[in-house]
């Protein structure tokens, strides 16, 4: 449906009545001036070549051109120009166990890292699927809602760790409920849940919840990460194996039976992790022939079909006519030449639009040809550096190419030139995602807050903001600990320096040997005196030698 994007610019049409008033005032002034001259025949002779009709025509042409320019700025568009990405796929929620038992290394380098590799491979094998992520341990959290942005999914996946869930355990039932809540029941797509866990803690409600999901048409597949023989749990922070209350090393074992029962209740399959490619391939085959008849669509923010160039073209023609059109009566030849020249112009010759470049870029983006898409969007910006659509889509392409710094600049350009709050909100959100990927948390938090100001109902922005705040808090704690350690080391150095200074001062305070003023005879007499007292000194030493020595205090290092 045709509509104007920026209707606020129609306020400029208020200038039309003002120009009409000024035109009327000018005509009256001319009439009064003619009367002041006094001689009508003289006035007629002086104005014989002037045509009031031609003057009125020129004014009407100018008013029409101005009005057309206002319509061009208001931006007449049709949503038919928005392109939709049609896909045939499924909606898949992935539930990842991040309990500390996933640190066990019976599968190298660890159960958690292998689980992440499997999920990443499954995402690569599912280009047409929407992917969501739930992490769980003693509680379940929605890490990322369903999305076709697989790069963002991998970013959230790589950041998942046991530190994200403070409560330990394996609440599989809660994770399955969280996955169910993430699905939109109105979407006519096939839905599935993929559970990756060692299933160590038995969850009595897991089977019941799985059966409920199966009744809703949601398939549940499970992947067992670990070994039945088990392995100790290495704590990366301490570098020690975890121990129980009795001081015994904890051995974590894979609970295959529970995971197998869950898959059976959910009409899915259970797989023991053996090889990343093999497990991912089995999941792909399991879902390959399901839900193919359902086609869904996801839209990238794309260009509307623009019509402003036609208004600008018509306004340009009218202004050219007005320029060559004379107020004088004897200028028919000149006017005819001007009109003949104008007939040779076409609107497209002077009203080039970046629309074609944007559509070309969208096509390349859909085909994952990001280099071609980037070139197309930059071509569009060469014609109009304030084009919001080209800036926004260029930011998306640069983000996919891991050029987050340039992506942020493109989003900022889109925000600066966007007139629609909806477009600004999307640009702020994507800017936040890019900054979060670049670990620029303060700027990222500001971007998410701006997105929520424009759309308080954006749950994705809200959840990402919470995660960014949590990461910032962790960074601050790490920085505080680092500063604390630095201060501690500085205090040690200061104490060491003070002790050294005291020792030096003590040495300085000790009496220095002076040149003896005794004569040789006096020295010999004193030596004889000392020798005479030697026996007495020896006796005293023998007496105190057997006395007990007080115990020295224990060291605190």
| Domain-wise residue ranges, the chain | 3-83+304-350, 85-298, 355-474
User: Where does 85-298 sit in CATH, by number?
Assistant: 3.40.50.410
Spatial separation of the C-alpha atoms in residues 137 and 156, rounded to whole Å: 17
What was the pLDDT predicted at 548? 42
- In this predicted model, which residue has the larger pLDDT, 379 or 84? 379
CA distances from 105 to 117, 212, 225, 286, 389 (A): 15, 34, 11, 28, 48
Higher-pLDDT residue of 481, 221: 221
Using only the alpha carbons of the chain, give its radius of gyration: 42
Q: Where are the beta strands (DSSP E) in 450-549?
A: none
Does pLDDT of 80 surpass 90? Answer: no
Q: Tally the C-alpha atoms within 13 A of residue 299's C-alpha that lie toward its C-beta.
A: 11
pLDDT at 542: 52
Question: What is the rounded average pLDDT of the residues 395-404?
Answer: 88
pLDDT at 350 over 50: no
pTM over 0.85: no
As a whole number, mean pLDDT of residues 84-107 equals 81
CB 389, CB 358: distance < 8 Å = yes
294 Rama class: left (phi>0) / alpha (psi -120 to 50) / beta: beta
pLDDT in tens, 487-527: 777 766 666 666 666 666 655 555 444 444 445 566 566 56
pLDDT band at 557; cut points 50, 70, 90: very low
Residue 332 has pLDDT above 70, yes or no: no
Q: Which residues pair with 3 in a beta bridge?
A: 77
pLDDT of amino acid 527: 60
Fold of 355-474: 1.25.40
C-alpha count within 13 angstroms, C-beta hemisphere, residue 195? 38
Q: Is the pLDDT of residue 52 over 90?
A: no
Two structure tokens written together for 322: 């007005």
If you average pLDDT over each of 192-196, 249-253, 300-304, 415-419, which comes out highest? 192-196
Count of alpha carbons within 13 angstroms of residue 350, beta-carbon side = 13
Task: Give the containing element (helix H, strand E) for 257.
Answer: helix 256-265
Q: Which residues are CB-contacts of 114 (< 8 A; sequence separation ≥ 6)?
A: 107, 108, 225, 273, 276
pLDDT average, residue stretch 536-548 = 49
**How buried is residue 298: exposed, middle or buried, by Cβ count under 10 Å (0-12/13-18/19+)?**
middle
Is-contact 103 111, C-beta < 8 A?
Answer: yes
Distances (CA, A) of 128 to 143, 206, 288, 292, 296: 20, 29, 11, 11, 10
* Closest alpha carbon to 159 in 205, 78, 98, 224: 98
Whether the CB-CB separation of 7 and 76 falls below 8 Å is answered with no
The CA distance from 69 to 10, in Å, is 10
Asked if residue 238 lies in contact with residue 291, where contact means CB atoms within 8 angstroms, the answer is: no
Asked if 226 contacts 252 with a C-beta cutoff of 8 angstroms, the reply is yes
pLDDT, tens digit, for every residue of 171-188?
899 999 999 999 887 776
Peptide bond into 555 cis (omega under 30): no
Per-residue confidence (pLDDT) for residue 56, from 0 to 100: 87
Q: What is the largest CA-CA distance in the chain?
A: 157
Mean pLDDT on 157-166: 86
């Amino acid at each position: 449906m045709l509509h104007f994007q920026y209707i606020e610019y129609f306020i400029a049409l208020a200038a039309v009545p003002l120009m009409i008033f000024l035109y009327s005032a000018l005509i009256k002034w001319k009439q009064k001036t003619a009367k002041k001259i006094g001689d009508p025949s003289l006035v007629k002779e002086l104005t014989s070549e002037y045509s009031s009709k031609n003057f009125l025509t020129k004014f009407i042409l100018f008013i029409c051109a101005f009005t057309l320019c206002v319509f061009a700025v208001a931006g007449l568009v049709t949503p038919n120009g928005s392109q939709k990405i049609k896909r045939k796929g499924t909606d898949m929620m992935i539930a990842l166990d991040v309990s500390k038992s996933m640190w066990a290394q019976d599968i190298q380098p660890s159960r958690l890292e292998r689980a992440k590799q499997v999920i990443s491979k499954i995402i690569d094998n599912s280009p047409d699927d929407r992917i969501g992520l739930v992490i769980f341990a003693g509680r379940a959290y929605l890490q990322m809602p369903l999305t076709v942005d697989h790069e963002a999914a991998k970013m959230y996946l790589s950041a998942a760790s046991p530190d994200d869930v403070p409560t330990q355990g394996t609440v599989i039932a809660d994770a399955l409920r969280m996955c169910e809540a993430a699905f939109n029941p109105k979407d006519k797509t096939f839905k599935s849940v993929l559970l990756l866990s060692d299933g160590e803690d038995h969850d009595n409600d897991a089977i019941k919840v799985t059966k409920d999901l199966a009744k809703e048409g949601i398939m549940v597949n499970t992947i067992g990460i670990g070994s039945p023989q088990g392995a100790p749990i290495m704590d990366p922070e301490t570098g020690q194996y975890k121990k129980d209350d009795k001081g015994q090393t904890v051995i974590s074992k894979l609970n295959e039976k529970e995971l197998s029962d869950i898959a059976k209740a959910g009409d899915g399959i259970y797989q023991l992790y053996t090889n990343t490619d093999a497990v991912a391939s089995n999941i792909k085959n399991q879902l390959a022939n399901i839900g193919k008849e359902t086609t869904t669509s996801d839209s990238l923010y794309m260009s509307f079909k623009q019509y402003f160039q036609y208004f600008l073209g018509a306004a340009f023609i009218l202004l050219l006519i007005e320029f060559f059109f004379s107020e004088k009566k004897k200028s028919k030849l000149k006017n005819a030449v001007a009109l003949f020249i104008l007939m040779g112009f076409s609107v497209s010759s002077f009203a080039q639009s970046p629309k074609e470049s944007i559509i070309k870029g969208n096509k390349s983006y859909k085909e994952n040809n990001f280099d071609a898409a980037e070139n197309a969007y930059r071509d569009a910006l060469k014609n109009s550096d304030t084009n919001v659509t080209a800036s926004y889509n260029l930011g998306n392409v640069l983000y996919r190419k891991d050029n987050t710094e340039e992506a942020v600049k493109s989003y900022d350009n889109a925000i600066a030139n966007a007139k629609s709050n909806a477009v600004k909100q999307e640009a702020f959100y994507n800017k936040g995602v890019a900054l979060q990927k670049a670990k620029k948390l303060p700027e990222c938090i500001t971007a998410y807050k701006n997105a929520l100001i424009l759309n308080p109902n954006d749950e994705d922005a809200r959840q990402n903001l919470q995660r960014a705040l949590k990461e910032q808090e962790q960074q601050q704690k790490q920085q505080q600990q680092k500063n604390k350690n630095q201060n501690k080391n500085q205090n040690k150095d200061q104490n060491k320096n003070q002790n050294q200074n005291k020792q030096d001062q003590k040495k300085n305070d000790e009496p220095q040997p002076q040149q003896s003023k005794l004569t040789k005879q006096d020295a010999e007499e004193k030596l004889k005196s000392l020798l005479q007292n030697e026996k007495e000194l020896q006796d005293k030493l023998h007496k105190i030698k057997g006395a007990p020595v007080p115990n020295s205090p224990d060291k605190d290092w």
